[in-house]
Amino acid sequence: MGMTITEKILAKASGRSVVEPGENIWVDVDVLMTHDVCGPGTIGVFKREFGADAKVWNSEKIVLIPDHYIFTADERANRNVDILREFAQEQGIKYFYDITDKSNFKANPDYKGVCHVALAQEGHTRPGEVLFGTDSHTCNAGAFGQFATGIGNTDAGFIMGTGKLLIKVPATMRFILNGEMPPYLLAKDLILHIIGDITVAGATYRTMEFAGVAVEKMTMEERMTLCNMVIEAGGKNGTIAPDETTFEYVRSRTNQPFEPVYTDPDAKFYSNRRYDVSQLEPVVAQPHSPDNRALARECSNVKIDRVYIGSCTGGKTEDFFHAAKILKGNKVKVPTYLVPATQKVYEDLFKLKYSEQTLSEIFLEAGCIEPAAPSCAACLGGPKDTFGRMNEPEICVSTTNRNFPGRMGNKEAGVYLASPYTAAASALTGYVTDPREFLS
């Protein structure tokens, strides 16, 4: 019987030749990631269940990434990072991306920033492997043909002690994206379009596998944007077949061997959906749900108070590159916040050029607020002093992934999720704006 990418990875990780959707199986874990918000809880579960002096199952397979509430005076948030540090030292954790000097993040060469982008940039997202993380957007790494999904602190504490987890094999929904990608569309438009079609519960506990010519032509960062948001449709994980684009990205970041797997021609799918991307238009997800889709041009009367470009979904180097393309030579009409996902992305803003100017020069000339230190920042609201947090009931166009009430701070605030093109175009007009107005 043929199997999908997800079924093959889980079969291998459970030591079986075949698995079927719905089966409960024990899998061996290749990577466990946790961050400052869930790490202390996970460590607490591990110590309670395995003993105060217990040792983790493998100190080289656990990745600790402080990223959420870093640049804040909030004492409890700061204490969470200290707990990660103490645990990393006690257990000899190899991959701990620490920050000690918060006044100058650049003085912390180990500090990365947002976990999902950091995992990819540091070579932890390898085809054919199993990655669990205490964060719902761990599905981001499905872009590499890895089985990657978010789990709670209890499961993560159990993995810390055993390196195993019992999970149910998800059925796979396939999304075939064919056609020529129009120059005004980005992966964010495609995933918002799909979620609008299937709703926020449309893929509950299923794999969303993306295939087709449009996906094959995508860069790794665009593929990440697709997989990052499968959780917004309830998906267990996302997958994309690894190819040369994947191998080039991964091999330039790690020497660890990996074995890619591929969906068989006779694999069974829960459903098949086909899209001709050449027919799609720029979209937004209106408040207060990622499936509340509308065409960007249909919202042109929506006046906005700010724009936010950042997060694991929309704060990667290419996302800023896309924003710069629109902003170059123009002036923003609303406060425009820029939060690079990682330290590497931050450096890129000051190094990479679009049409003779660095991205940061373009942004500053356009009147954007200076790029912030890399972290999750206001994507998840955070403590009151978080950069870019929505402390007032304002309207924001954001490249982030979730717009439920209160997600970016104030419960009355309204967040329009959009691509970097649409976000940048909206910054220039002060209204939700179709980016075609600025892309010649």
Binding residues for ligand SF4 (CB under 6 A): 68, 114-116, 135, 137, 311-312, 376, 379-380, 400-401
* 54 contact partners, CB below 8 Å, separation of at least 6: 46, 47, 161
Instruction: Kindly tell me which of 19 and 115 has the beta carbon lying closer to ligand SF4.
Output: 115
Residues sharing a CB contact under 8 Å with residue 352, sequence separation 6 or more, in sequence order:
317, 321, 358, 359
Q: Measured from the CB of residue 67, what is the shortest distance to ligand SF4 in angstroms? A: 6
Q: Minimum distance between the CB of residue 287 and ligand SF4, rounded to whole angstroms? A: 17
CB of 68 to ligand SF4, least distance (A): 6
Least CB distance from residue 114 to ligand SF4, whole Å? 5
Residue 78: CB minimum distance to ligand SF4, A: 17
Nearer to ligand SF4, 170 or 382 (CB): 382
Q: How far apart, in whole angstroms, are the C-alpha atoms of residue 380 and residue 137? A: 12
Q: Which residue lies nearer to ligand SF4 by CB, 328 or 407?
A: 407
If DSSP codes are grouped into helix, strand and coil, which group holds residue 120? Answer: helix
Question: Beta 283-285 vs 293-295: how paired, if at all?
Answer: antiparallel
Is the bond preceding 116 in cis, omega lying within 30 degrees of 0? no
Considering the complex, state which of residue 116 and residue 193 has its C-beta at the smaller distance from ligand SF4.
116
Alpha-carbon distance 48 to 136, whole Å? 24
Beta strands in 138-292 (DSSP E): 147-150, 164-168, 171-178, 206-211, 237-240, 271-276, 283-285
**Segment holding 307, helix H or strand E:** strand 306-310
Q: Please report which residue ranges of 179-288 form alpha helices under DSSP H.
A: 187-198, 213-216, 220-228, 244-251
C-beta of residue 143 within 8 angstroms of C-beta of residue 229: no
Residue closer to ligand SF4 (CB basis): 227 or 428: 227
Minimal distance in Å, beta carbon 335 to ligand SF4?
19
Minimum distance of ligand SF4 from residue 398's CB (angstroms): 10
Looking at the Cβ atoms of 61 and 137, the one nearer to ligand SF4 is 137
- Cβ 166 to ligand SF4 shortest distance, Å: 25
Give me the least distance between CB of 40 and ligand SF4, in Å please: 16
Q: How far apart are the first and last CA of the chain?
A: 50
d(C-alpha 331, C-alpha 31), whole Å: 44
Residue number with CB closer to ligand SF4 (118 or 302): 118
Q: Which residues pair with 65 in a beta bridge?
A: 35
Using the minimum distance from each CB to ligand SF4, give the nearer residue, 328 or 402. Answer: 402
- Distance from the Cα of residue 285 to its chain's centroid: 17
Least Cβ distance, residue 392 to ligand SF4 (angstroms): 20
The stretches of 241-299 forming alpha helices (DSSP H) are 244-251
Closer to ligand SF4 by CB, 13 or 312: give it. 312
Using the minimum distance from each CB to ligand SF4, give the nearer residue, 263 or 399. Answer: 399
Q: Is 357:320 a contact under the CB 8 Å cutoff?
A: no
The 10 Å Cβ neighbour count of residue 255 is 6
